[in-house]
Amino acid sequence: MRHREGAWTIGRLAKTVGVTVETIRFYQRRGLVREPPRPPGGIRHYTPEDGARVRFIKSAQRLGFSLDEIRHLLRLDEGMQCDAAAKLAAQHLDGVRMRLQDLRRIETTLEILVEQCGQGKEKVACPLIMSLYGDKNYK
């Protein structure tokens, strides 16, 4: 290995952080990961900092942030703006809570319907299907 330590190819970077090369390139097109300068007639070299950045993206994704939100967070990081980052996270949290409410409503409804169906008085129209038709004289 002739290269200096801490200088990776894109393939090495991808493998190190556990994504594919194509994903790195995609993040670059999205402006989330820099494109290191390409030496004339050579290939680009990446550093562990690039790896940290990709890992940051992946962590934020596990918290449900979109790539657009993550780009925003990364810009804030560069400026060390904790308040703004917290505000963004709080907004995202609001969205999460709304999705939670939706899912809880759905969970409750489905629980009831599945249970009603399980009561197995066949011969009667399926409660689930009836409910989806709007219940009352549905056809």
Partner DNA sequence: GTTGACTCCGTACTTAAGTACGGCAGTAAG
Partner DNA sequence: CTTACTGCCGTACTTAAGTACGGAGTCAAC
Interaction site with a copy of itself (CB under 8 A): 49, 52, 55-56, 59-60, 62-64, 73, 76-77, 80-83, 85-86, 89-90, 92-93, 96-97, 99-100, 103-104, 106-107, 109-111, 113-114, 117-118, 122, 125-129, 131-134, 138-139
Q: Which residues pair with 8 in a beta bridge?
A: 46
Question: How far, in Å, CA of 83 to CA of 89, rounded?
Answer: 10
CA atoms within 13 A on the CB side of 108: 5
DSSP 23-80: HHHHHHHTTSS------TTS---B-HHHHHHHHHHHHHHHTT--HHHHHHHHHHHHHT
The listed partner (a copy of itself, DNA, none) that binds 134, CB under 5 to 8 Å by sort, is: a copy of itself
The listed partner (a copy of itself, DNA, none) that binds 26, CB under 5 to 8 Å by sort, is: DNA
Candidates 97, 42, 30; CA nearest to 66 is: 30
Task: Pick the stretch among 12-20, 47-55, 78-86, 105-113 that binds DNA (CB under 7 A).
Answer: 12-20
The only residue of 9, 47, 81, 116 in contact with DNA, by rule CB under 7 A: 9
Minimum Å distance from CB 67 to DNA? 3
Query: Are residues 33 and 74 in contact, defined by beta-carbon separation less than 8 angstroms?
Result: no
Residues that bind DNA (CB under 7 A): 1-3, 9-12, 19-23, 25-26, 35, 38-39, 41-44, 61, 66-68
